């Protein structure tokens, strides 16, 4: 199955010049959704994994069934102010400003082997910050898996040293 055929591309959304990759069309197709999760699971089976960490918010949609498929736990990385309790926080640079991500301090134990999951690898800033959170507690990144990669934004270069899987690549 060609997963790219299941992703709707919407021109000029959310603003002029942007080509939005809408995964809702893939998610509503049970065979395509299962295929995507299975391909991510195949990637994970090739490395040690103790926990899947999904990045807000579409990383939750893919990460939770992936964790279930692998028989491991699942943890959330969220935008600031969304998690109760004791959190760890990492700030990162955007093109025009800063943003931050947070995780519960007790979500990951030192030495755990983590696979990070998100729907999209673009510039690599968000997933790079998520990796910093994981490593801040002494855990190890076993890999990063994404449904889509926008190769023209070179996000992979910000993730040097990590094993990366992307299921669908867009060149522009």
**CA distances (Å), origin 136, targets 31, 49, 78:** 37, 18, 16
CA separation for the pair 7, 1 (Å, rounded): 12
52's CB contacts (< 8 A; 6+ apart) are: 44, 63, 64, 66, 67, 70, 72, 73, 74, 75, 114, 115, 117
Indicate which residue of 91, 95, 113, 156 is catalytic.
Answer: 95
Does the annotation mark 95 as catalytic? yes
CA separation for the pair 79, 99 (Å, rounded): 8
Indicate which residue of 58, 78, 102, 149 is catalytic.
Answer: 58
Does the annotation mark 69 as catalytic? no
Is 46 buried (19+), middle (13-18) or exposed (0-12) by CB count in 10 A? exposed
Query: Two tokens at 137?
Result: 């507690």
- Active-site residues: which are they? 58, 95
């Amino acid at each position: 199955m060609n997963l790219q055929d299941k992703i709707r591309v919407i021109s000029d959304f959310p603003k002029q010049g942007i080509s939005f990759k809408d995964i809702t069309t893939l998610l509503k197709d049970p065979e395509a959704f299962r295929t995507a999760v299975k391909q991510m699971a195949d990637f994970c089976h090739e490395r040690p994994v103790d926990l899947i960490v999904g990045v807000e918010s579409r990383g939750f949609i893919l990460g939770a069934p992936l964790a279930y498929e692998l028989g491991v736990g699942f943890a959330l990385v969220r935008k600031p102010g969304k998690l109760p309790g004791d959190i760890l926080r990492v700030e990162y640079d955007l093109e025009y400003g800063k943003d931050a991500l947070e995780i519960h301090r007790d979500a990951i134990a030192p030495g755990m082997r983590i696979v990070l999951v998100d729907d999209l690898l673009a510039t690599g800033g968000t997933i790079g910050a998520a990796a910093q959170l994981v490593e801040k507690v002494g855990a190890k990144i076993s890999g990063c898996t994404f449904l889509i990669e926008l190769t023209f934004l070179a996000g992979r270069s910000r993730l040097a040293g990590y094993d990366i899987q992307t299921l669908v690549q867009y060149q522009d």
